[in-house]
Amino acid sequence: MNLVDRPSPNFNDRPADKPVSILLLHYTGMKTAAAALERLCDPAAGVSAHYTVDEDGTVYVHVAEDKRAWHAGVSYWAGETDINGISVGVEIVNPGHEFGYRLFPNRQLDAVADLCLGILGRHAIPPHRVLGHSDVAPGRRQDPGELFPWQDFAARGVGLWPGPSSAPEPPDILTLQRQLRDVGYDCPESGIADAATAEIVSAFQRHFRPGQIDGIADAETAGCAAALLQRIPTK
Ligand SMILES: [Zn+2]
């Protein structure tokens, strides 16, 4: 792996009482890699990540893993809101949905996978807590987005994939809401297919059923959620 030091001043101490338990993937969402690197290291911007992986596979190291980098913003997963405090953040260079979302080159993905496997080897992060920014901030964020090959990464040992799944018919909405909450999403349990639920369903689809991202809780989405839950160990 081609590691390059590019330190960022944007970090602080992690909470003393909680171990690192999430690996959070992003895309940079800026026009160029240079602009993203500059922002992630700019004290005035107040944002960072532990690493940025460029499209050529170069890995820029910004913040030590034992420090709290600032990449998640307002976010939630499985009862936790200080996601920065308990996660390692990896930025993947891509202009994103705003500036021309495009396929991640293979050499970039190979570097991301290598980096992630190293991180997973250094921290007790279970497969079901390898997440995208869109999972923890569904209304605000779409990254790393539906072009990120989550299924392939799960096969490489990075993350969890529900596998073949089906459900005979569209679900009872309250059942699906509870399943998505059990997965970790900040899903309402209203029993109503409201706008907040559609945001969560879209986020789930973006990660686990990227063929159709419409926020509609169809039978396949429900099947994926049920299959995923079966693979997540109960607490
Ligand atoms: Zn992000």
Give the per-residue SS3 of 1-18.
CCEEECCCCCEEECCCCC
pLDDT for position 15: 97
Radius of gyration of the chain (CA): 17
pLDDT of 16 over the 90 cut: yes
- The owner of tokens 């200080």 is 82
CA of 222 to the centre of ligand 1 (A): 26
Angle among Cα 212, 213, 215 to the nearest 5 degrees reads: 125
CA of 167 to the centre of ligand 1 (A): 32
pLDDT for position 235: 63
Strands 51-53 and 59-61: antiparallel
CA of 140 to the centre of ligand 1 (A): 9
Rounded to whole angstroms, the Cα distance separating 226 from 163 reads: 11
Over residues 140-170, the pLDDT tens digits come to 999 999 999 999 999 999 999 997 777 778 8
User: How sure is the predictor about 127, in pLDDT bands with cuts at 50, 70 and 90?
Assistant: very high
Residue partners of 216: CB distance under 8 A and separation at least 6: 198, 201
Over residues 79-111, the pLDDT tens digits come to 999 999 999 999 999 999 999 999 999 999 999
pLDDT for position 154: 98
pLDDT for position 165: 75
CA of 229 to the centre of ligand 1 (A): 25
CA of 216 to the centre of ligand 1 (A): 24
Which tokens hold the place of 62? 């910004």
Longest CA span, the chain:
52
Over residues 17-71, the pLDDT tens digits come to 999 999 999 999 999 999 999 999 999 999 999 999 999 999 999 999 999 999 9
Rounded to whole angstroms, the Cα distance separating 225 from 88 reads: 25
What rounded mean pLDDT belongs to the chain? 96
Name all domains of the chain by residue range, CATH numbers in brackets. Answer: 3-155 (3.40.80.10), 173-231 (1.10.101.10)
- Helix runs in the chain, H state only: 33-40, 83-86, 96-99, 106-122, 133-136, 150-155, 173-183, 195-208, 219-231
pLDDT average, residue stretch 227-232 = 94
pLDDT for position 170: 80
pLDDT for position 216: 94
pLDDT of 128 over the 80 cut: yes
Over residues 199-215, the pLDDT tens digits come to 999 999 999 999 999 99
Residue at 194: amino acid letter: D
pLDDT of 175 over the 80 cut: yes
pLDDT of 234 over the 90 cut: no
Residues of 184-202 as b/e, b for ≥16 C-beta within 10 angstroms? bbbbbeeeeeeebbbbbbb
The residues annotated with a catalytic role in the active site are 91
CA of 207 to the centre of ligand 1 (A): 14
pLDDT average, residue stretch 173-190 = 96
Over residues 56-76, the pLDDT tens digits come to 999 999 999 999 999 999 999
